[in-house]
Amino acid sequence: MIEYVCEKPSDLTAIEDMLDKAFGPGRFAKTAYRLREGVAPLGNLSFVAWEDGVLRGSLRFWPIEIGDDNVPALLLGPLAVDPEHRGRGIAIRMMQIALARAADDGHRIVVLVGDEPYYARLGFSAAMGRGLRMPGPVDQARLLALELVPGALRDVAGLIHQPLRAPECSAAE
């Protein structure tokens, strides 16, 4: 039986090993990784799938913002399943669990880079992401979006970027 639980710090090595196995070392060159640099994944939305003490899958969400209006959204990925266990529905189940939690937590928009035929099963589409742009080369047909709240992407367009951070403050001198 597969157990789907929130990622823990002790899972990190197993997750990184699986991501290397699933995507190879070139995964860090992808545009989506630029949005993740220096930003922590959202722990309550980052899931792992364990079966008999062995990691079978991992899914993370990251905070992002869209356009000059800094519309908050989530970036889904990486999503990975051990290559020897693909086709068992592990990834779909992790996404169902995580997307339901994201909606319950009040998130409104989810963006990812992936194959539309696969992610369309959960409602993602390139049409929803039409007005969005990534900060680097991405095939626009692979930039997919999902509204967790109907109409959330209405009038939302622009460059996807990391969340703005408040400036560091220091004591007055």
In this predicted model, what pLDDT tens digit does every residue of 58-81 receive, in sequence order?
999 999 999 999 999 999 988 989
List the chain domain ranges. Answer: 2-161
Residue 165 has pLDDT above 80, yes or no: no
| C-alpha distances in Å from residue 43, one per residue of 6, 15, 52, 144, 149 | 7, 14, 23, 23, 22
pTM: predicted TM-score of the whole model, two decimal places: 0.87
The superfamily in CATH containing domain 2-161 is: Gcn5-related N-acetyltransferase (GNAT) (3.40.630.30)
